[in-house]
Amino acid sequence: MSKTQKLIAMEDRFGAHNYHPLDIVIKKAEGVWVEDVEGNRFMDFLAAYSAVNQGHCHPRLLKVMKRQAAKVCLTSRAFRNDQLPYFCQEICELTGFAKVLPMNSGAEAVETAIKAARKWGEKVKGIAKDQAEIIVCADNFHGRTTTIVGFSTEDQYKDGFGPFTPGFKVIPYGDLKALEKAITPSTAAFLVEPIQGESGIKVPPAGFLAQAHELCRKHNALLICDEIQSGLGRTGKLFAFEHEGIVPDAVIVGKALSGGFYPVSAFLSSEEVMGVFHPGDHGSTFGGNPLGMAVAREALRVLSDEKLVENSAKLGPWFMEKLGEIESKSIQLIRGKGLWVGMVLDRPARPYCEALMHEGMLCKETHETVIRLAPPLTITKKELNMALTRIKKVFKKLDG
Ligand SMILES: *Cc1c(COP(=O)(O)O)cnc(C)c1O
């Protein structure tokens, strides 16, 4: 039995089967590249769902992580630590939001946004107690807690996990008329991904977000953008909402916020919205811990210093154009923004992802028929060219 087979059997025997990963067992990684236990090398075109935008094991992050781990890792928020204040100041200055609330996983930051929106609805907007509504979109992905899967439209995410939290209304993604119709005096917020990642890199019609912003303003509801996957450079801007020339009332970040070293997420908003939280209202044992804060501060600095947002803006359109030149009868559509591309096929994408793996390139199908390409933003044109050669080869072979 190979080392790979042995480890897969062990995981299958003792671990819960809540994932269906490609059968590659990674042992180490650096930048765009990962290596499996057999010593094979692959280009990583998933980048841990955009959590490693800065590339795997970034040396600067490693250094800060080691240094901070040797000093102090966790104080809990019962006491203060010397990293949290700097993180708060730096992320607010970078993003332009007035206030930040750090959490750990993305789902926790989404929960924070939901709590903030509801409480703002009751205490500031004046919605009757327990009546606040939040509008969300079909095919959304905001995480896996029971509240969040409760407003998912993906049957599998919900099956068996009910009963669910009330107070959510679902509209079709990109449908302004439906949004306007769904808004009532009890609407606290519209929670939306500027581009839907898990749903297959779905880009809404141009102007959707800007007009949704306008509608929210008109009806005194908050526009909350979930930029956990789309944010921090993935689309060629720091935030995807910038493509629409707006600033939402709040934004949720995670994933690349720590460059993959440590789970750090955050909810960012105004003084008014964040002002609804008082001591004891909300919290997290690990949220805002010094280790996470030190790593996140460095992860944001790497993003700026290495001009990763600019690299995504520069190479993304070129890469998408090159993908568009691939002759294949199975490709229906290529869509995306920056270094975030969905290749929509007329057939299941999994065999293509498996074939790409055998060519030394890792990516993961999403929603059956979409190949998602999202390499670390540190990738070079030369490496993208290598990837294009591999992709072409696979399409030639499998289309046949
Ligand atoms: C990944 C993701 C989440 C959930 O983040 P976790 O860290 O897995 O909890 C939420 N929203 C979006 C848009 C995501 O891509």
The answer to whether 226 is a known catalytic residue is yes
Q: What separation in Å is there between the alpha carbon of 131 and the centre of ligand 1?
A: 26
Say if residue 355 is in the same domain as residue 284: no
Within this chain, do residues 359 and 380 fall inside the same structural domain, yes or no?
A: yes
Q: How many domains does the chain have?
A: 2
Q: Which atom of ligand 1 is nearest to the CA of 108?
A: 9
Is 296 in the same domain as 340? Answer: no
What span, in angstroms and rounded, lies between the C-alpha atoms of 305 and 285? 31
Considering the domain architecture, whether residues 63 and 209 belong to the same structural domain is answered as yes
Q: Is there an atom of ligand 1 within 6 Å of 227 CB?
A: no
Say yes or no: 78 and 17 in one domain. no
**Amino acid identity, position 27:** K
Residues 68, 211 within the same domain: yes
Cα(143) to centroid(ligand 1), Å: 5
Where is the domain boundary, 305, 323, 358?
Answer: 305
Beta-carbon contacts of 54 under 8 Å, excluding residues fewer than 6 positions away, are 61, 256, 259, 260, 299, 302, 303, 306, 308, 376, 377, 378
CA distances from 399 to 48, 234, 278, 327, 386 (A): 28, 30, 59, 10, 20
Q: Is 396 a catalytic residue?
A: no
Residue type (1 letter), 41: R
255 is catalytic: yes
Residue that finishes a domain, picked among 253, 285, 305: 305
Question: Can you give the residue range of the structural domain that contains 330?
Answer: 3-54+307-398
Q: Kindly name the residue from 119, 169, 202, 255 that is annotated as catalytic.
A: 255
Catalytic residue among 42, 169, 208, 226: 226
Mutate to test the pocket of ligand 1, among 151, 198, 227, 228 (most ligand atoms within 8 A of CB): 228
Determine whether the shortest distance from the Cβ of 149 to ligand 1 is under 6 A.
Answer: no
Residues 25 and 154 in one domain: no
Cβ(193) – ligand 1 distance below 6 Å:
yes
- Kindly state if the Cβ of 102 falls inside 6 Å of ligand 1: no
248 lies in the same domain as 131:
yes
State whether the beta carbon of 194 lies less than 6 angstroms from ligand 1.
no
Any ligand 1 atom below 6 A from CB of 251? no
In 3-state terms, what secondary structure has residue 230?
Answer: coil
What sign does the dihedral 243-249-252-256 (CA atoms) show?
A: positive
Ligand 1 nearest-atom number relative to CA 143: 4
Q: Are residues 242 and 122 in the same domain?
A: yes
Instruction: Check if the beta carbon of residue 25 is closer than 8 Å to that of residue 36.
Output: yes
- By the 8 A CB rule, do 65 and 294 touch? yes
Name which residue sits closest to atom 5 of ligand 1, judged by CA.
106
Query: Are 10 and 116 in the same domain?
Result: no
Same domain, 289 and 266: yes
Q: What are the 10-residue block averages of pLDDT along the chain, 400 residues in total?
A: 96 95 96 98 97 98 98 96 98 98 98 98 98 98 98 97 98 98 98 96 97 98 98 98 98 98 98 98 97 98 98 98 94 97 96 96 92 98 98 91
Q: Is 366 in the pocket of ligand 1 (CB under 6 A)?
A: no
| CATH number of the domain residue 315 falls in | 3.90.1150.10
Catalytic residue among 45, 87, 97, 141: 141
| Ligand 1, atom nearest to 229 Cα | 15
263 and 367 part of one domain: no
CATH code of the domain in which 223 resides: 3.40.640.10
**Taking the CA atoms of the chain, what radius of gyration do you get in angstroms?**
21
How many of the other CB atoms lie within 10 Å of CB of 273?
A: 25
Domain termination residue (choose one: 273, 288, 305): 305
Residue-wise burial string across 281-300, b where 16 or more C-beta atoms lie within 10 A, e elsewhere: ebebebbbbbbbbbbbbbbb
